Every structure is written in C-alpha cells, then in structure tokens.
Amino acid sequence: MVMDKIKGQELMESICEMKYDENIARNLFKQILEGIAYMHEHGVCHRDIKPSNILVLDDKSSIVITDFNISKYFANKAFKMLTYTGTEAFKAPEMLEAAFYNEKIDLWAAGCVLFTMLAGSMPFFDENLPRLHRAIKNAEYDMKSEPWPSISESAKDLIRKLICID
C-alpha cells in the first residue's frame, strides 16, 4: 500500500466554507471527471464517489480522489457488479434495484457531486430510506429553487446528463 500525506480538506468541508461559483466548480469537476476516466481506463470502479472522498488541496485549485476501500477491479467492459455498497445518497438507481451494474455508476455519483458543489446541498436527501431510494430511482431532484436560476444552462444540462436514469 502506498500512501501520500495530502494537505487539504474534504470537498464537502470546502463547499460549506465557501460557495463555489461555476468557474471554481468547473475547474475542480473537470479534474474529478479526469480522475474517473483514468480509473475506468485502468479497470477500476470506485463505487463511492462523494464529496467526502474528494480532497481539495490547500491551493484550492486541485483535487485528489481518495478512499478506494470498496472499489472494484473489472477486467473487461462485459464485467458486471452486484454488490450493494457505497453511500446511499450517491448511489445510482441500478445499485438500489439489486441489478447488475458497471463502472458508469461513478458518473451518476459525479453528477451528484457537481450538483452539491453548485447548490451547496445534495440532490437526494431524506432521513426516510424508502423515500430517498424512491427519489433516486426516479431521479427526482430540484433545479428550480435557489441557486439554480443563476446557474448556467450548460451546467444544468451536464447534471441532467449525469444524473440520468438511462
């Protein structure tokens, strides 16, 4: 096991400290997507992408994806996973359906992270687990109330394409 000492803070802490404007979110989110692409190209599905598993370095312009304890190696694109794992509010619908899933679940979770970065709140939150699961399975999230009227259409479109049932 190789470990680095990272000076920074969890993305969620950073979001709570300062409201991310689209330019900051764009720069950090691009790095998140590049990290996910790198993992997938090397046959690794993270399975727990969420703000607390992304560290923002002290320079506030770089990120590191962490916590690979439930990640899964997949040998080829035909490989399917079934394990029920990860953080409830960031799980893709297929994980809740007890269906086979693939590495694309990381993209759903990335969409939830971008939503959280821009809104300061998660797209899916409910103390009641059945209601939370229903909202996730139906992709029911709000982009009408604040701050969404001031967020660009391209950012909202990207979120819609990532937090998408199909």
Of the residues 4, 21, 48, 67, only one is catalytic, namely 48
Residues 6+ apart with CB under 8 A from 122: 89, 90, 112, 115, 116
Spell out where 71-135 has E strands: 72-73
| Rounded CA Rg of the chain | 15
Bridge partners for 47 per DSSP: none
Q: Is 48 a catalytic residue?
A: yes
HSE toward the beta carbon, residue 58, CA cutoff 13 A: 3
Give the residue numbers marked as catalytic: 48
